Amino acid sequence: MNLDERLQNVTIIGAAGKMGSGIAVLVAQEMSKLKLKQENKGKIYRLNLVDITEEALDGLRSYLRVQLVKAAEKSTVLLRQIYADRKDLIENGEIINAFVDDTYALLNFTTDYNIAKDSHLVFEAIFENEEIKIKVLKSLKEICLPDALFLTNTSSIPISFLDEKAGLGGRIVGYHFYNPPVIQKLVEIIYADNTTEELKEIGLEFGKRLRKKLVPAADISGFIGNGHFSRDGLYALNKVEELKDEYGYHGALYIMNKVSQDFLVRPMGIFQLIDYVGLDVFQSLLRVMKTHLKLEHLNSDLLNKFMDKKIAGGQNPNGSQKDGFIKYEKNRPAGVYNIEEGKYRMFDEDWRAGIDKKLNPTNEKFAPWRALLMDGKKMEKLGTHFNNLKGMNTYGSELALDFLKTTKDIGENLVKDGVANSEKEVNEVLMNGFFWLYGPIHNFI
Amino acid sequence: MTYFRKKIYATAGFNTVALGTGRKEFHPKKPRPGIEHYIKEAGMGSINQIQNPENIDEGVIGNFMAARFCNQGNLGGFFPMVHPTFQYKPCIRVEGACDSGGLALVTAIKTILADMADVVMCIGVEVQNSVKAIYGADYLAGAGWFSGERKEGHAYFFPDQFSQRAGACYEKFGNEKMRAGMAQWYVNAIENARKNPDAQEYHNKNSDLLATGMTSPNPKAFCEHINVFDCSKVSDGGSALIFASEEGLKKIGVELKDAVEMISFAQVQDNLTTPPPDLTKLSTCAVAAKRAYDRAEIKPSDLSVLDVHDCFTIAGLLAVEAAGVAGYGEGADFVIDGNTKSYGIIPTNTTGGLVGYGHPTGASGVRQAVDVVKQLSGKAGDCQVKISPDKPFGMMSSMGGNDITVVAMVFSISSA
């Protein structure tokens, strides 16, 4: 059965989640384009979107409509060709609406995952929890057609482990989208020991159709992206424990966040990133990796304390950032949490200026990430920037260079441990999945 | 200078900022001024330069698609909002796609020539950022023949029309040369816009404009032969200019030295339902320019400044050929050699043009006239070019649709 045939009936489990909803937008468009082909007239296409609650499905309905309109607006050049024989559709606006309506018509929204019984392709995008994932995959195995193929969006659980526990006999592949899937180009593809050749091909072909950058990662917990992110975040958390005596927990969090963003020229500071991903997600990531890799040090007491206080970051349904390590006002950092005091310390300009001065006494101006993003000479400029850091000998530059060295070691170890085939893949994942300007494996130091 | 039965002067030109992507104050998701704001700002910007606004006789407003972009018709009704002088006076809106502004100019002039008025204010206006570009493309496609062309046309209808012209030129004159000429047109437009605080590209800080101009086209997302930098801007903006007879100038208290004489114009119409006779030429623009020169009894080489309708960089290259300053097929080389730069043989689009200043469609014709008038009266600020006494002439040429509706107009430093 080829990909076109499999795309006639697809199910997404966990479709209303952050990742599932994005995957739904992508799959729906591909199915719709197939459905609209002349040779497929009369065939029935169905995309089943399954999640736990009706409320979640309502949210998914509106999200999908908005995203499908956006997607259609971006591909109107192609859509005009697809609808060339529809004499009644003349303007772009009419064609965009027609595509959204036609795509919507192939969607089933339901809380009952028995609907997956006729699906040839099943995407699993539920919460990153081993037991639940295994339970769901096991049930799906019973419900679905015997040749149904499963693509799991796990970001850390080894695929062979899931395959074995759910008894899928190699009908599963790791297909790790990055958040948000509609925008992020990167997909890590992970084969289990027994992943069938057919599924490998389907995975590759589908990635191509979605115009994603597929990077293969070995089936080792955390894979490349989270293999790096988890250790990068853990380093910063541990560093906070070191710095807290002098600056308090809030000061130490502020320092590491600032150093990672401004000195290392990243799109956001490390703690802002963990807040964005969710402290719960990050904690579960460390747990999964700790278990599968048998590495006790993949744990942060500080993170656990935040979770005990139910401070978990992540996003509100409207997309705004929830508070985590950092407090947000209008999606911008406005304070930082002190775990000992059990409250956020709102930014006080004098306090901030004091720490900034300690980090960067001569007030050197660094080009921010955004300014270099589209700069054709960004690598050259980054080289100069890191060279300057080496000559600065300030508190901030030393912290930054240690951090830079650590991220490089993490990257190199991913290659050494066989998680990534090469340095290039590590860099591709961090640059495409995390929007870094440079890969962690570089010659800056 | 005997073509007209009396002298006509232009004065008190004013352009608003062209707002849209590129301007620092522009944010697509934040509320922005509406069409009435631009009409008022442009109108008052002009009125503030004269002594006696009560003596303005009429108002003409050029606008292309407010009915769709802003759900607004009946634009003449905004004149009394601009200033009470217009209350109960004749006001009219004219439309000729992107040449609506040009038609506003000629409508005002004809009224004065017909002895129906001594002073007429022209306003041109368009607000286009009210919808995303993909829907704006639908509205702008109204400049083509809807029932005959739109269905078969491209998502970005007009960019594609000019992409086809670029393709035809690549084939005839060589891809490399044309591409380089188009990129150089873009460079000149941005360089000039950086001297014009009202220009949409005024804040452009790109350090390698030529490389940007040379960006390869992406037919999957846009057009086959042009890139997005080859396009004029999607802009909100307004312009105003006052035309007056000699008597009229006195009535509004403007001295001759603050006015420029409009010595000839040509308004030329082609058939909307027939394809262009030759994609490598702007034939209608060429007819308009020739007539304007003949009526003014001057030659292209007599011009000190030129403002053409560069809705796309390829249109810019073809327009300098149509204006007769470069020969057929020589526009690209002419531009590459620097002849149209502010210090060149014929400074062209000195304030940025449609690519650099921006293209609030219905306003552009008026904006072009305002800028030529400012140049000839030495009021062009940082954009000022040298106007030599033996070449006291400037010309603007504005175009609606794919070379369908054209106005060319020649101005002269006032001789009286």
Is A180 within a domain?
yes
Q: What is the pLDDT of residue B1?
A: 46
Considering chain B, what percentage of its residues have pLDDT values greater than 70? 99
Measured between beta carbons, which residues in chain B are less than 8 angstroms from residue A73?
A: 132, 134
Instruction: Please check whether residue B156 touches A, CB under 8 A.
Output: yes
- Residue A205 sits in the same domain as residue A249: no
User: How far off is chain B from A157, nearest CA to CA, in Å?
Assistant: 37
Q: What is the pLDDT of residue A364?
A: 87
A48 DSSP β-pair partners? A11, A108
The number of folded domains in chain A is: 2
Residue A73 has its nearest CB partner, among B134, B146, B150, at B134
Measured between beta carbons, which residues in chain B are less than 8 angstroms from residue A92?
A: 134-135, 137-138, 155
Q: Determine, for residues B135 and A78 on separate chains, whether the beta-carbon distance falls below 8 Å.
A: no
Neighbours of A143 (CB within 10 A): 17
- Residue A292 sits in the same domain as residue A171: no
Interface of A with B in 45-74 (CB under 8 A): 73-74
Closest chain A residue to B222, measured at CA: A77
Instruction: Please check whether residue B154 touches A, CB under 8 A.
Output: yes
Instruction: Please check whether residue B210 touches A, CB under 8 A.
Output: no
Cα–Cα distance, B284 to B222 (Å, whole number): 27
Q: What is the pLDDT of residue B350?
A: 98
User: How far off is chain B from A2, nearest CA to CA, in Å?
Assistant: 26
Listed in sequence order, the DSSP H helices in B70-99 are 79-82
User: How far off is chain B from A126, nearest CA to CA, in Å?
Assistant: 33
Q: Determine, for residues A91 and B132 on separate chains, whether the beta-carbon distance falls below 8 Å.
A: no
- Residue A331 sits in the same domain as residue A209: no
The band of A315, judged by pLDDT with boundaries at 50, 70 and 90, is confident
pLDDT at B2 exceeding the cut of 70: no
CA distances from A311 to A78, A274, A289, A346 (A): 45, 12, 22, 16
- Structural domain that includes position A151: 3-216
Q: Determine, for residues A87 and B132 on separate chains, whether the beta-carbon distance falls below 8 Å.
A: no
Domain limit, last residue, from A166, A181, A216: A216
Question: Which is it for the CA torsion A367, A372, A378, A382, positive or negative?
Answer: positive
Instruction: Please check whether residue B150 touches A, CB under 8 A.
Output: yes
Residue to mutate among A70, A91, A95, with most B CBs inside 10 A, is A91
pLDDT tens string B19-34: 999 999 999 889 999 9
Phi-psi region for residue A39, left (φ > 0), alpha (ψ -120 to 50) or beta?
alpha
CB pairs under 8 A between A and B: 33
Is A327 within a domain?
yes
pLDDT tens string A108-165: 999 999 999 999 999 999 988 999 999 999 999 999 999 999 999 999 999 999 999 9
Q: Determine, for residues B221 and A74 on separate chains, whether the beta-carbon distance falls below 8 Å.
A: yes
pLDDT at B152 exceeding the cut of 80: yes
Q: What is the pLDDT of residue A208?
A: 96
CATH of the domain at A51: 3.40.50.720
Closest chain A residue to B211, measured at CA: A376
The band of A316, judged by pLDDT with boundaries at 50, 70 and 90, is confident
pLDDT tens string B322-344: 999 999 999 999 999 999 999 99
Is A340 within a domain?
yes
Is A445 within a domain?
no
Closest chain A residue to B132, measured at CA: A73
CATH of the domain at A289: 1.10.1040
pLDDT tens string A198-248: 999 999 999 999 999 999 999 999 999 999 999 999 999 999 999 999 999
Query: Using an 8 Å Cβ cutoff, are A141 and A114 in contact?
Result: no
Q: Determine, for residues B138 and A92 on separate chains, whether the beta-carbon distance falls below 8 Å.
A: yes
B269 DSSP β-pair partners? B405
Neighbours of A366 (CB within 10 A): 18
Residues 6 or more apart in contact with residue A436 via CB below 8 angstroms = A266, A267, A430
Measured between beta carbons, which residues in chain A are less than 8 angstroms from residue B151?
A: 87, 90
Instruction: Please check whether residue A79 touches B, CB under 8 A.
Output: yes
The band of B414, judged by pLDDT with boundaries at 50, 70 and 90, is confident
Closest chain A residue to B150, measured at CA: A90
Residues 6 or more apart in contact with residue A52 via CB below 8 angstroms = A16, A111
Neighbours of B125 (CB within 10 A): 36
Residue B155 has its nearest CB partner, among A77, A87, A376, at A77
Residue A92 has its nearest CB partner, among B137, B208, B219, at B137
Is A441 within a domain?
no
Q: Determine, for residues B150 and A80 on separate chains, whether the beta-carbon distance falls below 8 Å.
A: no
Residue A90 has its nearest CB partner, among B132, B151, B221, at B151
Q: What is the pLDDT of residue A424?
A: 97
Cα–Cα distance, A326 to A338 (Å, whole number): 10
Cα–Cα distance, A231 to A433 (Å, whole number): 16
Measured between beta carbons, which residues in chain A are less than 8 angstroms from residue B212?
A: none
- Residue A100 sits in the same domain as residue A43: yes
- Residue A243 sits in the same domain as residue A147: no
Domain limit, last residue, from A182, A216, A250: A216
The gap from C-alpha B243 to its chain's centroid, in whole angstroms, comes to: 17
Helix, strand or coil, per DSSP, at residue A174: strand
Query: Using an 8 Å Cβ cutoff, are B226 and B182 in contact?
Result: yes
Q: What is the pLDDT of residue B415?
A: 64
What is the average pLDDT across B4-20? 96
- Residue A296 sits in the same domain as residue A406: yes
Report the first-to-last Cα separation within chain A, whole angstroms: 50
Is A145 within a domain?
yes
- Residue A199 sits in the same domain as residue A234: no
Give me A432's structure tokens.
């495409």
What is the average pLDDT across B117-146? 98
pLDDT at A195 exceeding the cut of 60: yes
- Residue A239 sits in the same domain as residue A108: no
- Residue A143 sits in the same domain as residue A258: no
Residue to mutate among B151, B223, B224, with most A CBs inside 10 A, is B151
SS3 per-residue string spanning A54-74: HHHHHHHHHHHHHHHHHHHHH
Is A157 within a domain?
yes
Please give the mean pLDDT across all residues of chain A. Answer: 95
- Residue A196 sits in the same domain as residue A244: no
Q: What is the pLDDT of residue A375?
A: 86
Domain limit, last residue, from A184, A216, A248: A216
Q: Which domains does chain B have, with CATH numbers?
A: 8-132+234-259 (3.40.47.10), 143-232+269-356+373-413 (3.40.47.10)
Residues 6 or more apart in contact with residue A242 via CB below 8 angstroms = A252
Instruction: Please check whether residue B132 touches A, CB under 8 A.
Output: yes
Q: Determine, for residues B222 and A77 on separate chains, whether the beta-carbon distance falls below 8 Å.
A: yes
Instruction: Please check whether residue A179 touches B, CB under 8 A.
Output: no
Instruction: Please check whether residue A86 touches B, CB under 8 A.
Output: no
Give me A101's structure tokens.
């309506």
What is the average pLDDT across A271-286? 95
- Residue A138 sits in the same domain as residue A90: yes
Q: What is the pLDDT of residue A318?
A: 76
Cα–Cα distance, A191 to A204 (Å, whole number): 11
Measured between beta carbons, which residues in chain A are less than 8 angstroms from residue B141?
A: 91
Cis bond leading into A180, ω under 30°? Answer: yes
Listed in sequence order, the DSSP H helices in A148-278 are 159-166, 197-209, 225-258, 270-277
Residue B221 has its nearest CB partner, among A77, A80, A96, at A77
User: How far off is chain A from B13, nearest CA to CA, in Å?
Assistant: 37
- Residue A128 sits in the same domain as residue A230: no
Is A116 within a domain?
yes
With CA atoms as reference, report the closest residue to B35 among B93, B86, B90: B93
